[in-house]
Each structure stands twice: as C-alpha cells, then as structure tokens.
C-alpha cells in the first residue's frame, strides 16, 4: 500500500501542480492579452499625438499666416484711410478753388461792367467835349463873322 499511497500522493501533487500551472498560465495569458491591448492603445495614442502635433503645427503656421495677413490688411487699411483723407482734402481744395474762381469771375464781370460804364462815360464826355468844341468853333466863327 505504500506504493499506492505514494502514487496517490504523487497524482494529487501532480494535479495540484498542473492546476496551479494552468491557473498561472491563464493569469499570464490574461495579463499578456491586456498588455497587448494596452500596447496597441498606447501605439494608437502615440500615433494620435503625432497627428495632433502635426495639426497643431499646421494651425500655428496658419495662425502665423493669418497674423501676417491681418498686419498687411491693417497696413493697407491705414493707407486706404490716408488716401481717403487726402481725397477728401483734395475735394475740399477743389471746391474752395471753384468758389474762389466763381468769386473772381463775378468780380471780373463786375469790373468789366465798370470798365464798360467808364468807357461809356468817357465816350459821352468826349462827345460832349466834341460838341462843346464844335459849338465853340461855330461860336468863334459866328463871332468872327459878326465882327467883319
């Protein structure tokens, strides 16, 4: 019986050892499966991080371009406002010049009328003087003929 007890004990220990090995194997397989899934997830996340980093770099480049475009737009807007202001000033100068021209044209017309009036007066005076001269000549002739 000794041999039988030995065999039974051997089988029992062997069963326990196999059960323990199987349990440990199952645990290790579960841990390995989880590790693989975690590794895959880590790889996915690292890939996503690289993609997001690339997108972030692209966004920063676009922001830089946008800032540069805004700066150019502000400069052009500033130039536009300057040109607009200069245009308004030029229009005001043209309007003022037109008013001055109209004023000077009115003054010229007034002076022309005065010149025409003075010429007319001069002609009247010359005519009157001519008439007086003719009258004096006629009077002198008449006076001379009366003395003869």
CB-count burial class (<10 Å; 0-12, 13-18, 19+) for 103: exposed
Look up the pTM and report it.
Answer: 0.47
Question: Tokens at residue 29, please?
Answer: 């397989």
Average pLDDT of span 47-57:
94
pLDDT in tens, 63-115: 999 999 999 999 888 888 898 999 999 999 999 999 999 999 999 999 999 99
Question: Is residue 135 predicted with pLDDT exceeding 80?
Answer: no
| Banded model confidence at residue 140, pLDDT cuts 50, 70, 90 | low
pLDDT band at 146; cut points 50, 70, 90: low
Mean pLDDT across the chain:
88
CA atoms within 13 A on the CB side of 24: 6
The confidence band for 123, taking pLDDT boundaries of 50, 70 and 90, is confident
Token couple for 30: 């579960």
- Residue length of the chain: 148
The position carrying tokens 């009077």 is: 139
126: pLDDT confidence band, cut at 50, 70 and 90?
A: confident
Residue 134 clears pLDDT 90, i.e. is over it: no
pLDDT at 130: 78
């Amino acid at each position: 019986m000794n041999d039988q007890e030995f065999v039974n004990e051997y089988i029992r220990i062997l069963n326990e050892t196999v059960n323990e090995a199987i349990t440990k194997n199952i645990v290790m397989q579960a841990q390995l499966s989880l590790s693989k899934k975690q590794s895959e997830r880590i790889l996915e996340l690292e890939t996503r991080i690289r993609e997001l980093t690339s997108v972030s770099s692209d966004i920063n480049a676009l922001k830089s371009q946008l800032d540069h475009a805004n700066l150019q737009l502000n400069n052009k807007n500033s130039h536009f406002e300057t040109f607009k202001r200069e245009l308004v000033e030029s229009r005001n100068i043209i309007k003022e010049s037109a008013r001055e021209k109209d004023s000077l044209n009115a003054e010229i017309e007034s002076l022309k009328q005065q010149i025409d009036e003075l010429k007319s007066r001069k002609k009247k005076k010359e005519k009157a003087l001519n008439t007086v001269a003719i009258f004096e000549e006629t009077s002198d002739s008449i006076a001379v003929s009366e003395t003869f």
